[in-house]
Amino acid sequence: MHKKIAIGLLGLGTVGSGVVKVLSKFDNIEIKKIAVKNLTKTRNIKNLNPEILTDNPDIIINDPEIKIVVEVMGGINPALGLITKSIENGKHIITANKELIAKHGKVLFELAKKHNVVILYEAAVAGGIPIVMPIVQSLAGNKISKIAGILNGTTNYILTKMEEEGSEFEHVLKEAQDLGYAEADPTGDVQGYDAAYKIAILSSIAFNKRININEIYKEGISNISPEDIKHANEFGYKIKLIAMAQDCGETLDVRVHPMLVPKKHPLASINDVLNAVVVEGDAVGRVMFSGPGAGEFPTASSVAGDVLSIAGEIEKTGFPLPIMRCKHDDTNAKILDINETKNKYYINVQTENLPGVIGDLGTICGKHGINLYSIIQQGIVKNKTARIVLLTEAACEKDIQAAVKEISERPTVKAIKNLIRVM
């Protein structure tokens, strides 16, 4: 007979319910207490014993029999305070809270080290996709050079539907909200904050450096139009919200923004609410991890895996899972300013339909040291203006921004409809 390991659960929403259902299959785990906001709420959990529910999380934190605290509440408060007290009481932590780890990981991991406990967070990055442990353990023999991923299912669903239906962003966003894929306030998803938390975590473990979340460049998808998606497709690309981190030597290039992804790239085929992470290492080359990035059971799968990893070690050693302990020093990584990055670019310009306009655009780009890969007029729109699309070769962001500013000031230019980086 296995000795049961007592755990406490903070939160019983979608993910928390999935965790209870998954862990009920394991006879070495006892969910002793679950902290909830509303004790009378109906729960979609068969045979749930109401006596294990409490609206006082301190009961979990202060119970010496509870060895593992699972936090699936989300947000910063009260989660940060509850986890802090749990660590101080010698409890191991499992969390699905990417915002908490991205913003307060440094303090929490240092506190965990002091109290000889482990914090595991597989579910915080990409739902059901195993990615944290593979980077820490399976890919430990590699010097990782780059990570690029689709880390937000909501934005990926929106961009997929915009492509399939030719619909505007706002229309598809409303559809995603009706289906439960997007929150009532979708800012965290569509403006890139959610993906930024996740790439901050992945960067931290892949490059073994602390990441200041406030230094990560973030740009969302609300300015992407059906015509941008159409033009990208014609040029052999898909538009995706990409979270990217790459080693530039003395700096790390970490950012989140839409990109034109070549159709031959593995990320281009990731559609709907699926997530995927591509990791490039010197020994393994390029590998991709893909699957459901959210949802009750996918996320619960990762949480349960972390619970069982710790539970299997607790009675065997006084120093469980050393490989998952934080080994960072106290210094933050130097993050490359977005203006110093180099990329290829897609520039969508609306101009007057006059002779010499295309030549003028090319001249301006040349003036700023930008080589054009392609420049195409995409017909005449209803107001008799021309839509011109430029694809550039690799150039420095600050040079592109200077060129775009000069282009926008030309009297023949009506608008810069979009500027999107190309993978």
Residue pLDDT, tens place only, 171-229? 999 999 998 888 899 999 999 999 999 999 999 999 999 999 999 999 999 999 999 99
Is the domain of 154 the same as that of 263?
A: yes
Tell me: do 33 and 180 sit in the same domain. Answer: no
94 and 142 inside one domain:
no
Model pTM score = 0.95
161 catalytic? Reply is no
Q: What is the DSSP letter of 210?
A: B
Residue 398 lies in a domain: yes
Q: What is the pLDDT of residue 99?
A: 97
Q: Which 8-state DSSP code applies to residue 168?
A: -
The pLDDT, as a whole number, for residue 1 is 46
Q: Would you state the pLDDT for residue 78?
A: 97
Of the candidates 239, 195, 200, 238, which has an alpha carbon nearest to the alpha carbon of residue 219?
195
pLDDT value for 330: 72
The reported pLDDT for the residue numbered 379 is 78
Residues 91 and 230 in one domain: no
Range 241-274 burial, b when 16+ CB lie within 10 A, else e:
bbbbbbbeeeebbbbbbbbbbeeebebbebbebb
Strands 372-380 and 53-54 come out as unpaired
Residue 377, helix vs strand vs coil: strand
Same domain assignment for residues 201 and 260: yes
The verdict on 279 and 311 lying in the same domain is no
Residues 284, 304 share a domain: no
CA atoms within 13 A on the CB side of 171: 10
In the set 161, 198, 238, 240, the catalytic residue is 198
What pLDDT, on a 0 to 100 scale, did the predictor assign at position 220?
A: 98
pLDDT at residue 395 in the model: 98
The parts of the chain modelled with pLDDT lower than 50 are 1
pLDDT of res. 2: 60
Domain count, the chain: 3
Question: Which residue segment(s) compose the domain that 91 sits in?
Answer: 5-128+296-324
User: Is there a domain that residue 333 lies in?
Assistant: no
Residue 188 lies in a domain: yes
Cα–Cα distance between 281 and 258 in angstroms, integer? 24
